[in-house]
Chains A and B, each alone.
Chain A
């Protein structure tokens, strides 16, 4: 599309110049300082939350481990749960309660370990990012 020459001349003549560039940049720097402060505050809060999550999952693993040990050391011929059922799914559950309890606790322990690793990696990543942004 061709430019209209008269309009083009008018706009070129109008092109403004600014003699307050330094003040403008200083004003921007102050705003960016505020942004950085808020960003670091939010990240610190998030890190604290992640630490709390890790501590909770560690506690969960310890308690789960204790229960698992309890289940495993119970006599094999004594069911963990007694439904007094004579047939059907309840009898099946009663007869295999030890196995189900072991499987469930193992699954919970694995989930807890994965969550701990995930949160720990997030914390390390946050610390690395903050360290890198300070040195730059």
Chain B
């Protein structure tokens, strides 16, 4: 893959990738964009081994997900939404206020449950695709989705 081809593909997927990472980082745009940039550089370095099977998005999301797990942003999570709200304070001013509760609720999920939920509900991936992106079995993904959904519904009082 040439650099121009890579840039073109990234331009098409940029919004989806940044949205995915923004949700994983619970609304922290700076963290999300830093992780996105790191992930894209890693993807560029690995692009020689990418075989064009029309699944660039899944391949890119897998790299982005691994980059997120290695970033300090993935190590932050809270026991409940009130604790998250206390810590966030005004620092989440750049997040869309109307959806801040969703981001705060996501920050109470462990990284793997958060990833599964975001990939399933925000990006519309299937269980099989999520298991390939996160490198876990389909059964584990289903459990993560089930647990994550229950926690989110409790914390958001849905």
Which of chain B's residues have a CB closer than 8 A to the CB of A10?
Answer: 99, 102, 121, 156, 158
Give the B interface residue count (CB, 8 A): 35
1/0 per residue, CB under 8 A from B, across A64-98: the answer is: 00000000000000000000000000000000000
Contacts A3-B121, A6-B158, A14-B122 hold; do A24 and B2 have CB atoms under 8 A apart?
Answer: no
A-B complex: 5 closest residue pairs judged by Cβ atoms: A11-B121, A14-B99, A136-B2, A6-B158, A11-B122
1/0 per residue, CB under 8 A from A, across B123-158: the answer is: 000010000000000000010010001001100101
On whether the beta carbons of B14 and A24 are closer than 8 Å, the reply is yes
On whether the beta carbons of B15 and A7 are closer than 8 Å, the reply is no
Q: Is the interface of A mostly helix, strand, loop or mixed?
A: helix
Q: How many A-B contacts are there with CB distance less than 8 Å?
A: 78
Measured CB to CB, the residues of A under 8 A from B are: 1, 3-4, 6-8, 10-11, 13-18, 21, 24-25, 27-29, 31-32, 35-36, 133, 136
Min Cβ gap B64→A in Å is 13
Q: Which residue of B lies closest to A133 (CB)?
A: B2
Contacts A7-B121, A28-B40 hold; do A13 and B158 have CB atoms under 8 A apart?
Answer: no
Q: What separation, in Å, do the CA atoms of A73 and B120 have in the docked complex? A: 81
Which of chain B's residues have a CB closer than 8 A to the CB of A21?
Answer: 11, 14-15
Which of chain A's residues have a CB closer than 8 A to the CB of B18?
Answer: 16, 18, 24
Q: What separation, in Å, do the CA atoms of A17 and B122 have in the docked complex? A: 13
- Interchain CB contact (< 8 A) of A3 among B41, B120, B153: B120
Q: What separation, in Å, do the CA atoms of A8 and B99 have in the docked complex? A: 13
Contacts A1-B127, A16-B96, A24-B18 hold; do A7 and B153 have CB atoms under 8 A apart?
Answer: yes
1/0 per residue, CB under 8 A from A, across B1-29: the answer is: 01110010011001100110011000000
Measured CB to CB, the residues of B under 8 A from A are: 2-4, 7, 10-11, 14-15, 18-19, 22-23, 33, 36-37, 40-41, 44-45, 96, 99, 102, 117-118, 120-122, 127, 142, 145, 149, 152-153, 156, 158
Which of chain A's residues have a CB closer than 8 A to the CB of B120?
Answer: 1, 3
On whether the beta carbons of B10 and A28 are closer than 8 Å, the reply is yes
Q: What separation, in Å, do the CA atoms of A14 and B33 have in the docked complex? A: 18
Q: What separation, in Å, do the CA atoms of A14 and B15 have in the docked complex? A: 13
Which of chain A's residues have a CB closer than 8 A to the CB of B99?
Answer: 10, 13-14
Q: Which residue of B lies closest to A6 (CB)?
A: B158
Min Cβ gap A101→B in Å is 47
On whether the beta carbons of B7 and A14 are closer than 8 Å, the reply is no
On whether the beta carbons of A32 and B44 are closer than 8 Å, the reply is yes
